Amino acid sequence: MSKLDKAIEQVLFENNIPNEWSSEINNELDQLKSETNSSRTDLTDKPFITIDGKDAKDFDDAVFCVFHNRQLRFNFFRLFKI
């Protein structure tokens, strides 16, 4: 367990914050069916960085760049990640 994990556990314990799902919630989660949309492209392997301003309430604007044939190429996306 890392120092961060230990610190989180300590804060949860000291403030009596539950950190486990109840059996009722676990049962309900087991009943849910995952919906997959094949029209979406998985971009989780791309090195995105946010370009939202410091006062942003969400971080949904991002950009990533890659080297292609030893030249830097910028790929700009309006990324909506839910």
Q: How many domains does the chain have?
A: 2
* pLDDT attached to residue 39: 74
Q: Are residues 2 and 17 in the same domain?
A: yes
Using the predicted structure, report yes or no on whether residue 82 has a pLDDT greater than 50: no
30 and 22 Cβ atoms separated by less than 8 Å: no
Q: Are residues 49 and 28 in the same domain?
A: no
Q: Are residues 17 and 51 in the same domain?
A: no
Structural domain range at position 54 = 38-82
User: What is the model's pTM?
Assistant: 0.34
Between these two residues, 72 and 46, which has the higher pLDDT value? 46
Q: Are residues 46 and 23 in the same domain?
A: no
Q: Are residues 24 and 52 in the same domain?
A: no
pLDDT tens-digit readout, 4-44: 888 888 998 999 988 888 899 888 888 886 666 667 777 78
Q: Are residues 43 and 73 in the same domain?
A: yes
Distances (CA, A) of 17 to 1, 10, 21, 76: 19, 10, 12, 41
Mean pLDDT of the chain: 76
Q: Are residues 51 and 25 in the same domain?
A: no
Say how far apart CA 39 and CA 51 lie, in whole Å.
Answer: 25
Residue with tokens 């094949």: 38
